[in-house]
C-alpha cells in the first residue's frame, strides 16, 4: 500500500468517533505536516512542508502550510507576489487597509507584489494552503510586525 494511503488509513481509524470535519482535518494535517515552524514570524502553531525549492530555472517556491485554529502569519509582503491555494479548513487573508477575506477549501488568493498582508486560520477552525512564490530572484518575503490580538479578534467571524 503506498505510504500516503497507509498514513490516511491509520489516521482515519484513530479518528473514529470524531465529527466528520475534525476527522478530515486531523487526517489532512497528519499527512501535510512535516516541520513545525518557529514562532519568529507566526502566532500559534504552524507546520510547513517545502514542495518545490527555487532554482535558476524555475525561480519559484512552492510549499504547504498548515495553520492550527487561531494561528496566523505576521504582516508581510513578497517582492514578486504570492498565490495561495486553500486545500482545507477555514482561514483569513487580509491586505492592509482592505476588508478581511474569509477563505474556504478551493479558494485562490492573489497577493500582489510588495503588498502588505497576512493570512492564517480562523479562530475555531484550522486551515491548510499551498503557497506559490514566483520570481524568487526578486526576493522571497519581507516580514513586518505581528498581527495583534486586537487586529485578529476584530476580524474573527468563525
pLDDT in tens, 8-42: 333 333 344 444 455 445 545 554 446 777 778 99
**pLDDT value, residue 26:** 56
**CB 141 within 8 Å of CB 133:** yes
**pLDDT value, residue 28:** 52
**pLDDT value, residue 81:** 97
**pLDDT value, residue 13:** 34
Residues with pLDDT less than 70, the chain: 1-34, 155-158
**pLDDT value, residue 39:** 74
Amino acid at each position: 500500500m503506498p505510504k500516503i494511503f497507509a498514513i490516511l488509513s491509520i489516521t482515519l481509524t484513530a479518528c473514529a468517533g470524531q465529527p466528520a470535519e475534525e476527522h478530515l482535518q486531523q487526517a489532512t494535517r497528519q499527512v501535510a505536516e512535516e516541520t513545525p515552524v518557529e514562532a519568529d514570524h507566526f502566532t500559534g502553531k504552524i507546520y510547513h512542508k517545502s514542495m518545490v525549492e527555487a532554482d535558476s530555472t524555475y525561480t519559484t517556491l512552492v510549499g504547504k502550510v498548515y495553520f492550527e485554529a487561531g494561528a496566523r502569519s505576521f504582516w508581510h509582503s513578497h517582492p514578486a507576489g504570492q498565490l495561495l491555494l486553500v486545500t482545507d479548513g477555514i482561514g483569513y487573508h487580509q491586505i492592509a487597509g482592505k476588508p478581511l477575506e474569509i477563505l474556504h477549501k478551493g479558494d485562490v488568493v492573489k497577493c500582489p507584489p510588495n503588498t502588505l498582508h497576512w493570512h492564517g486560520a480562523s479562530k475555531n477552525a484550522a486551515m491548510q494552503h499551498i503557497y506559490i512564490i514566483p520570481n524568487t530572484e526578486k526576493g522571497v518575503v519581507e516580514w513586518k510586525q505581528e498581527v495583534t490580538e486586537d487586529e485578529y479578534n476584530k476580524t474573527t467571524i468563525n
